[in-house]
Amino acid sequence: MARDTAPIVKQSRREGVALAPKAHKVMAKKTGIPGEHSGMRVRGGSLYLTQMREKQKVRRMYGLLEKQFAKLMKEAQRVDGLTGEKLLEFLERRADNAVFRAGFALTRRQARQLVSHGHFLLNGRRVDVPSIRLNPGDVLEVKPKSGKTEYFKNLPNIISAANAVPVSWLKVDGKKMKIEVTGTPKREEAEPGINEQLIVEYYSR
């Protein structure tokens, strides 16, 4: 399964936003974008560059490859509603993102690994596709066998450490290791600091 394996801290420095908890400490010590001559590069630039950087930032936030992101954007352009908001909704409704939002993982990369390794059931059936889109009424739960592993035995501590912000469209039961989808994500529940209009403009060129 294709995935982005680039160092998350380097990606965080390039986009100017911490994409994982460990990036905070590094970014506090190292300012600017990575590279031997990073201090010589200009951070401003054209409108096109601004649009591209916003696209890259969001793509890396949610852990998608370029083709995956472009495909999702095309789908968002075809459905009714504001394209940018639909794009963010589709990103939020991914199974790996729901696991992350529920606090069952500290990062989206970790959540993606948990799903791809088959630790979850979706409506009673094994699922190992992190990108699968959840719908209202869906139930994502840890497999009984996986619940006996050390990771999931420690789930209460993981949820506490994750300190996940509750979202309106998910009902989380940490004791039963279950996530219920009760609605669809609201625009304000996506990651903060996103300007989706720049992404729409990038793909409208």
pTM: 0.82
| CB-CB contact of 150 with 156 (8 Å) | no
Residue where the block lists tokens 């509603």: 81
| C-alpha 171, offset from chain centre | 18
- Structural domain of residue 79, as residue ranges? 8-35+42-91+196-203
* Residue type at position 145: K
114 assigned to some structural domain: yes
80 assigned to some structural domain: yes
Total tally of structural domains belonging to the chain: 2
| CB-CB contact of 92 with 165 (8 Å) | no
Give the mean model confidence (pLDDT) for residues 113-137: 98
Share of the chain above pLDDT 70, in %: 79
Residue 14 pLDDT exceeds 60 = no
Question: Residue 103 CB: number of other CB atoms within 10 A?
Answer: 22
Residue 158, classed as helix, strand or coil, is helix
87/121 same-domain check: no
What is the phi/psi pair of residue 49, to 5°? -65, -40
Residue 153: CATH number of its domain? 3.10.290.10
62/102 same-domain check: no
**pLDDT 10s digits, 50-101:** 999 999 999 999 999 999 999 999 999 999 999 999 999 999 999 999 999 9
Residue 39 pLDDT exceeds 70 = no
What is the phi/psi pair of residue 36, to 5°? -60, -35
Closest residue by Cα to residue 27 from 41, 44, 12, 38: 12
12 assigned to some structural domain: yes
* C-alpha torsion angle, residues 11, 21, 168, 122 (rounded to 10): 80
154/175 same-domain check: yes
